[in-house]
Structure 1
Amino acid sequence: MVDWLHAYVGTTEKNSGNANPNRHLPFYAICQAVLYIFIYRHHEIARLPDGIEIVSKWRLNHIIASELNPLKYCLPAITLRFAQLARNYQIVFCYSIIETNNRYSLPESFATNGHYNDNLAIIPSNILYSYFPFDPYVLKRSSIFIRPIYNDYRDENDDITITKDSEDNHVSKV
């Protein structure tokens, strides 16, 4: 998957007209899948003799810092958790990109596919929701078949949180 992401970044950076995120939905979905895999499996990866070194060879910084800006379109919870872990393992530093994305993001509206709930509050939409429809798995009738193989996210280090200290985001233990 990572090789495909690098190839995609290489071809799209040569072309113009990358501004429309809908043109790149498979790219963003695969980026988010890679982030998911790392988040769910970082303990196992870290226990391997060269696990973190192998992840460093994925050159995720090249993908994350590309003009396609995948951190802008991946689910915020996934982006933030990946940023925490990537910083802890010193794989890539994502907070400056996240800050820039937050600074330049516009409020949701009908024009940006936002939806209103019963209280007329805007519910932001994410272009990748349809790519990850079973996270978490909530279909009751079929869950009897899926539950034995479905991995719920559990992290022993859930005490890691993001704090805001002046202009810099950083990870701290609580």
Structure 2
Amino acid sequence: MKFTLDKDIIYEQAVERMFEMLGDWKIMALASSVNDYVMVRNVSCLFYDEKIWFKTDKNFRKTKQLLENPHVALCWSGVQVEGIAINKGLVVDEPDRRFEKGYKEHLWESYNKYSHEDTEILIEIEPKYVEIWDTSDEGYAFQLFIDFENKTVEPKIYDQK
């Protein structure tokens, strides 16, 4: 769906647009850093409750890095998210098991190959700042800068025709 740039777009509309672009799931690039050592890798993400969720083995390097420095960035297509990673414990201990159900539905092969109930933890990413590249119905490129902490959005036109 194309989006007509509205200079009066409000925060809630921008957040809705972000999650509309992401859909139910995506493979996103996750960047993390400890002591100025940066790593990036793909993670299989689900989106609900205005958060980004993925699972990982608690023994992986990326997990140890996330626990030491929870400041991360994720990217998929025109959506770049800066946020905080929060360890929510074992995937199987999530009260409503919403992640597990969604993962089975959307990422069955990965779920079937890589599910280890005793070591797989659920990571919640709380978005702090998001940059979205989008295109208006008229073909103009623009950006939306969403500040989750201040609940503001700033649209910027990138090009003019």
Identify which of structures 1 and 2 has the higher relative contact order when contacts are C-alpha pairs closer than 8 Å and 6+ apart: 2
When normalised by structure 2's length, the TM-score is 0.28
When normalised by structure 1's length, the TM-score is 0.26
Greater Rg over alpha carbons, structure? 1
Which one has the bigger strand percentage? 2
